[in-house]
Amino acid sequence: MKKLVKNAYILTMEQEIDGRLCPPFLGEILIEADKIQAVGAHLSQQEIARAEIIDGKDCLVMPGLVNTHGHAAMSLLRGYGDDLPLNTWLFERVFPVEDKMTPEDVYWGSMVSICEMLKSGTTCFSDMYFFADALAEAVKETGIRANISRCIDHSAVKLKESCDFYTKWQGAAAGRITACLSPHSPYLCPPDFLQEMVQEAKRLGTFLNIHVAETQSEQADYLEKYGKRQVEKLGEIGFFEVPVLGAHLVHVSEAEISILAEYGVAVAHDPRSNLKLGNGIAPITKMLDKGILISIGTDSSCSNNNLDMFEEMRIAALLQKGLTGNPTVLPAGEVLTFATVNGAKALHLEQEIGTLSPGKKADMIFVDLNQLHMQPGHDKISDLVYAANGSNVKTMLVNGECLMKDYQLLHIDEERVIAEARKSAQRIVSK
């Protein structure tokens, strides 16, 4: 089965020779099965014969957004524990309620987040949580792409569960599900346990996904306990001997930034969650100066409180401009790269997604240019970051399958998802 996208502005997210993004152009995209077969201004009649037409009139078609840090099931806790510092929020509000959650709760909370992500342009996301099988089932059923891990603290039993999850789900759902290993954080996982996880990651051939240096207090406590800051200690114990995706990295020293660069650690930047919890602003421009790969994540909708990657991109750009006093840092094209190309690289999926290139998976979104806040359209790349939001996403495909058309999800019963999620949320909070 072939599909042909016509009449759309196409933003491939590929780079020109000078390193700039190729500008959007009016053209066509030919899709065969789950892959992009051809992209161009005018494809040959022979190529497009007997293809199903998808009209992209008044839309910009671009790669789907890649959300590199989140906890989908925590949609059940949206608005529960707002306006609190991280330690109070986490240890007094979140952890006690999470202890009451069942696999069914995780399934329905994840379904809410998946619907929200699909409707706002995210075609691939990374998630670390417990009852990961329930999330994987939701991903399998809905058609979205995801990297999933069983998030763990210091427990041999949980480490085995995490490795078993990897073996069971890596490459599942026609390749849409990939897996990794996720120690929660240096403050919940002592150095000897993290070294065990490194060995397991080497054995499985995967990467590690971890929260690092999110708050000043955790860095101070860690320094007092171990005599080194978190990134310094992780480097010392060999944690970076395998690929690592680190979430947050807000409070890092110049020396720690150099260590991250030396080992090629990728960063999942979560600006809105960091702001809402009062944790500060990650030094993204300093990381970029060292050549560190920056991607974008939303964190959970319990600490954000939505999963709109367009809003996340905008805040990411504005924060660094304000922090540095330089309006030229993090231009729109670079932030779009964070949310597409770099997101794919951070999840080790760059051979499959991130750009609209022949041979890659047909993961793409149609951004409606015909809304008032997108007028008059002088610079479409700029408008995507500074004007657009998730409600602009009109149609989307993942793995060549249309999951949303004209703002309507095609394969998910939204009313049931909302009803079941409300029941789960009310039950766990009422206890």
CATH at 140: 3.20.20.140
For residue 173, being part of any structural domain is answered with yes
For residue 72, being part of any structural domain is answered with yes
Domain stop point among 346, 367, 387: 346
Mean pLDDT of 23-28: 96
pLDDT of residue 92 exceeding 80, the answer is: yes
For residue 100, being part of any structural domain is answered with yes
Domain stop point among 325, 346, 367: 346
pLDDT of residue 339 exceeding 80, the answer is: yes
Taking each helix axis from N to C terminus, what angle separates 103-119 and 132-142, rounded to the nearest 10 degrees?
A: 40
For residue 208, being part of any structural domain is answered with yes
Please check whether residues 94 and 11 belong to one and the same domain. no
Q: Report pLDDT for 42.
A: 77
For residue 415, being part of any structural domain is answered with no
- Mean pLDDT of the chain, nearest integer: 96
Mean pLDDT of 387-405: 98
Q: Report pLDDT for 77.
A: 96
- Show contacts of 184-188: CB within 8 Å, 24+ apart: 184/128, 184/151, 184/152, 184/153, 184/210, 184/211, 185/210, 185/211, 185/212, 185/214, 185/218, 186/210, 186/212, 186/222, 186/230, 186/233, 186/234, 187/218, 187/221, 187/222, 187/230, 188/153, 188/154
CATH at 39: 2.30.40.10
| Tens of pLDDT, residues 349-369 | 999 999 999 999 999 999 999
Please check whether residues 158 and 203 belong to one and the same domain. yes
Mean pLDDT of 298-316: 97
Q: Which range is least confidently modeled, 39-53, 98-112, 123-137, 306-320?
A: 39-53
Give the H or E element holding residue 123: strand 122-129
The domain containing residue 399 runs over which residues? 2-63+353-409
For residue 48, being part of any structural domain is answered with yes
Helices within 338-389 (DSSP H only): 343-346, 380-386
Residue 182 CB contacts under 8 Å (≥ 6 apart), including other chains: 128, 149, 150, 151, 152, 162, 208, 209, 210
d(CA 64, CA 397): 8
Domain stop point among 330, 346, 362: 346
Please check whether residues 195 and 321 belong to one and the same domain. yes
Please check whether residues 15 and 81 belong to one and the same domain. no
| Tens of pLDDT, residues 246-255 | 999 999 999 9
d(CA 94, CA 75): 12
Mean pLDDT of 259-265: 98
CA angle 362, 367, 370 (to 5 degrees): 150
Please check whether residues 184 and 321 belong to one and the same domain. yes
Please check whether residues 287 and 142 belong to one and the same domain. yes
Give the H or E element holding residue 275: helix 271-276
Please check whether residues 197 and 333 belong to one and the same domain. yes
Give the H or E element holding residue 38: strand 35-40
For residue 237, being part of any structural domain is answered with yes
Please check whether residues 231 and 154 belong to one and the same domain. yes
pLDDT of residue 19 exceeding 90, the answer is: no
| Tens of pLDDT, residues 191-228 | 999 999 999 999 999 999 999 999 999 999 999 999 99
* Strand 177-179 to 145-152 pairing: parallel
Please check whether residues 365 and 376 belong to one and the same domain. yes
Distance of CA 377 to the CA centre of its chain: 27
Query: Are 130 and 106 spatial neighbours (Cβ–Cβ below 8 Å)?
Result: yes
Please check whether residues 82 and 172 belong to one and the same domain. yes
Please check whether residues 248 and 129 belong to one and the same domain. yes
Query: Are 396 and 124 spatial neighbours (Cβ–Cβ below 8 Å)?
Result: no
pLDDT of residue 48 exceeding 80, the answer is: no
Q: Report pLDDT for 45.
A: 74
Helices within 352-413 (DSSP H only): 380-386
Q: Report pLDDT for 17.
A: 79
For residue 298, being part of any structural domain is answered with yes
| Tens of pLDDT, residues 120-143 | 999 999 999 999 999 999 999 999
Report the number of distinct structural domains present in the chain: 2
Q: Report pLDDT for 431.
A: 64
d(CA 329, CA 327): 6
Structure tokens belonging to residue 64 = 């789907």
Please check whether residues 389 and 300 belong to one and the same domain. no
pLDDT of residue 29 exceeding 80, the answer is: yes
d(CA 62, CA 24): 9
Mean pLDDT of 177-195: 97
Query: Are 44 and 28 spatial neighbours (Cβ–Cβ below 8 Å)?
Result: no
